[in-house]
Amino acid sequence: MGRVAVFDVDGTLVDTNHLHVVTWWEAFRQAGHRVPMHAVHRAVGLGSGDLIAHLLGDDRDKDRDEELSGAHKALYGQYFDRLPALSDAGELLRRLHRDGWTVVLATSAGGAELGALRRAIDADDVIAATASADDVEQGKPAPEPVEHALELAGASAEDAVFVGDTVWDMRAGSRAGVRCVAVLCGGIARADLEKAGAEAVYDGPAHLLASIEESPFARKG
């Protein structure tokens, strides 16, 4: 059985976390909610429904969740033609592919948003599959997105390394039983990522690529 490298996308391979913060903040503002941007930032990485519940609580008007999600999607969609990949994101995936790893994405994005993210990364030739939040009942920090990625690759947790940028990623990967690598380019503190399960932390894709020989990817297998 081969080795699988599972990657989160937003904030890990594409520099979108702060775009999500601003567009979620505006969606909440339009709906009459005052949610601090720092709180939104720490919730990025959750699926839309979970993010809304996390920030507004269970006593919110749940009938407006779809409206909030739609507003965020419309605001964020304005950036689809210029989403910026993080430095060396595509080359990192290609390097792992050359080294014999099966590359799978695990993301809450879908549809046109996922298409825009994949265009930004520009490495479709080495991405074997994508596990979307639409394919599972529970998104991160539940383990299902990572477990689904493993199923798509036909791999076990022992043969996988998961790379992400949020506490939610690290918790999901840890619960799925995979080794977790974190990157700081999503804006979350190193200590928080390590506490959530990261065994190694890098500045971003370029730093991980430059350190690949000393990373969990080199030690695996």
Q: What's the pLDDT tens digit per position in 160-203?
A: 999 999 999 999 999 999 999 999 999 999 999 999 999 999 99
Q: Is 73 exposed, middle or buried (0-12, 13-18, 19+ CB in 10 A)?
A: middle
- Identify the architecture of domain 3-16+83-219 in CATH: 3-Layer(aba) Sandwich (3.40)
Nearest to 163 by CA among 134, 125, 135, 121: 121
Residues in the chain where the model's pLDDT stays below 70: 1, 219-221
Instruction: For residues 124 and 183, give the distance between their C-alpha atoms in angstroms, rounded to a whole number.
Output: 21
Token duo for residue 149: 């990625």
For 69, what's the count of Cα atoms within 13 Å in the CB-facing half-sphere?
Answer: 15
Token duo for residue 175: 């619960």
Instruction: For residues 166 and 182, give the distance between their C-alpha atoms in angstroms, rounded to a whole number.
Output: 8
Phi, psi of 10, rounded to the nearest 5 degrees: -60, 125
* Contact predicate 58/35, CB 8 Å: no
Cα distances from 49 to residues 76, 128, 142, 152, 176, in angstroms, run 16, 28, 14, 24, 21
17-78 has which CATH code?
1.10.150
User: Can you say how many angstroms the Cα of residue 9 is from the centroid of all Cα atoms in its chain?
Assistant: 4
* Contact predicate 24/31, CB 8 Å: no
Phi, psi of 181, rounded to the nearest 5 degrees: -120, 135
Q: What integer pLDDT is reported at residue 219 of this predicted model?
A: 59
Domain boundaries, the chain: 3-16+83-219, 17-78
* Contact predicate 28/55, CB 8 Å: yes
pTM value? 0.96
